[in-house]
Amino acid sequence: MAQVKMVGVVGAGQMGAGIAQLVAAANLQVLMSDVDSVALARGMRTIASSLARFVKKGTLAQVIGMHFMNPPPLMQLVEIVRGPATADEVFGTIKNLAERLGKTVTCSRDFPGFIVNRILMPMINEAFYALMEGIGSPQDIDVGMKLGTNQPMGPLTLADFIGLDTCLSIMNVLHKGLGDSKYRPCPLLIQYVDAGWHGRKSGRGVYSYNSSLAWLYDWDVKIFALHRLYHGVKAPIFIILKDANTTIMGIFL
Ligand SMILES: NC(=O)c1ccc[n+]([C@@H]2O[C@H](COP(=O)([O-])OP(=O)(O)OC[C@H]3O[C@@H](n4cnc5c(N)ncnc54)[C@H](O)[C@@H]3O)[C@@H](O)[C@H]2O)c1
């Protein structure tokens, strides 16, 4: 079976930079591109500190989909998407690659949203309808779904992590691709995206995040906060940022 030696990543945002780091850490060469040079530089900065790799252009032998989850280095699943013409050999090569990256693989046919987004995004969209119709506050909707259905976080919190622009674009893909009105994006979601409320990455989504600290939510930054007590008085919080490559820096707030 052919062994993958180089991976091309198109887009250097949340997903692209994460996938590039994951792949580079598995000792594969990575070519990452982006239409926006600022985004590319930001993506490179995120991973460049210790994952510099030589990159070269390659050719695509055959197209097959790998759908990573966010954040790619942490999430267990990769959906492999097979088209009707995808050869078993190509599927085997890509499955082998995903397993080398430490992932569990599921296989989906090439339909809009594959499996995970086909089920997840309508739930998130419905949470926006519930919010728009005043059925509950964001907190009520999130806590209700988190504790009531045993999910690690509620759908609106998750939408802010994913990016509301990304959620809207996936709903549009489902709506257009499947042609069923049940996938129409919620007007409130459209309104938030039009307002530039793209979630954590922009500092504002369903919830507000201090925009000067929005970058702290990047997937590769783990935050450890220590309260210091001086003579019984709580001192400023000391935050240690530890990225995946153990670079540590301290900030006093
Ligand atoms: N965010 C998630 O949770 C998540 C999870 C799985 C898959 N995805 C998918 O990954 C993709 C990227 O999402 P993201 O969250 O990283 O978004 P993002 O906004 O963080 O980054 C997208 C990047 O792609 C670049 N770009 C746009 N058009 C391009 C083009 N034609 N060529 C090269 N670069 C281009 C943009 O400049 C931007 O830097 C989307 O298709 C999304 O559906 C996202």
Q: Pick the range with the lowest mean pLDDT from 47-56, 149-158, 176-185, 198-207.
A: 47-56
Domain boundary pick from 58, 77, 109: 109
In a domain, 184, yes or no: yes
Average pLDDT, the chain: 82
In a domain, 43, yes or no: yes
In a domain, 134, yes or no: yes
What is the pTM for the complete model shown?
0.71
Q: Domain check: are 85 and 62 in the same one?
A: yes
- Nearest protein CA to atom 9 of ligand 1, as residue: 15
Residue 1 above 80 pLDDT? no
* Total structural domains within the chain: 3
Start-to-end Cα distance in the chain: 53
Q: Domain check: are 159 and 228 in the same one?
A: no
List beta partners, residue 224. Answer: 240
Q: Domain check: are 18 and 92 in the same one?
A: yes
CATH code for position 39: 3.40.50.720
In a domain, 206, yes or no: yes
Listed in order, strand segments (DSSP E) in the chain are: 6-10, 29-33, 65-68, 77-82, 104-109, 222-226, 229-230, 233-234, 238-242, 248-252
Q: Domain check: are 125 and 203 in the same one?
A: yes
Q: Would you say the C-alpha torsion 204, 205, 208, 209 has a positive or negative sign?
A: negative
Please give the number of the atom of ligand 1 that sits closest to the Cα of 17: 16
- Nearest protein CA to atom 15 of ligand 1, as residue: 14
Q: Domain check: are 154 and 95 in the same one?
A: no
| Mean pLDDT value across residues 235-244 | 47
| Mean pLDDT value across residues 132-157 | 97
Residue 135 above 90 pLDDT? yes
pLDDT at 59: 60
pLDDT at 174: 97
| Distance from the alpha carbon of residue 237 to the mean position of ligand 1, in angstroms | 34
Residue 222 above 50 pLDDT? no
Pick 22 or 210 by higher pLDDT.
Answer: 22
| Distance from the alpha carbon of residue 216 to the mean position of ligand 1, in angstroms | 19
Instruction: Write the pLDDT tens digit of every residue in 94-120.
Output: 999 999 999 999 999 999 999 999 999
Residues with a CB atom less than 6 Å from ligand 1: 10-16, 33-36, 39, 68-70, 162-163, 166, 170
Q: Domain check: are 92 and 52 in the same one?
A: yes
Q: Domain check: are 161 and 232 in the same one?
A: no
Q: Domain check: are 154 and 200 in the same one?
A: yes
Q: Domain check: are 63 and 148 in the same one?
A: no
pLDDT at 246: 43
Its domain, for residue 59, covers 6-109
Q: Domain check: are 124 and 95 in the same one?
A: no
Of the residues 35, 67, 74, which should be mutated to test ligand 1's pocket, given the most ligand atoms within 8 Å of the CB? 35
- Nearest protein CA to atom 43 of ligand 1, as residue: 166
pLDDT at 223: 41
Q: Which pLDDT band holds residue 211 (cuts at 50, 70, 90)?
A: low
Q: Which pLDDT band holds residue 242 (cuts at 50, 70, 90)?
A: very low
d(Cα 184, Cα 203) in Å, to the nearest integer? 26
Would you call 198 a catalytic residue per the annotation? no
CB-CB neighbours of 171 under 10 Å: 23
Q: Domain check: are 227 and 175 in the same one?
A: no
pLDDT at 230: 47
Instruction: Write the pLDDT tens digit of every residue in 186-201.
Output: 999 999 999 999 999 8
In a domain, 132, yes or no: yes
In a domain, 12, yes or no: yes
| Exposed/middle/buried for residue 145 (C-beta within 10 Å: 0-12, 13-18, 19+) | buried
| Distance from the alpha carbon of residue 233 to the mean position of ligand 1, in angstroms | 45
What DSSP assignment string belongs to 99-135? Answer: HHTT-EEEEEES-TTTTHHHHHHHHHHHHHHHHHTTS
CB-CB neighbours of 202 under 10 Å: 18
Residue 237 above 70 pLDDT? no
Q: Domain check: are 14 and 105 in the same one?
A: yes
| Distance from the alpha carbon of residue 98 to the mean position of ligand 1, in angstroms | 20
| Distance from the alpha carbon of residue 163 to the mean position of ligand 1, in angstroms | 10
Please give the number of the atom of ligand 1 that sits closest to the Cα of 18: 16
In a domain, 1, yes or no: no
Please enumerate in sequence order all residues whose Cβ is within 8 A of that of 153, keeping only pairs 6 or more positions apart, or say none. Answer: 142, 146, 161
In a domain, 93, yes or no: yes
CATH code for position 201: 1.10.1040.50
Residue 74 above 60 pLDDT? yes
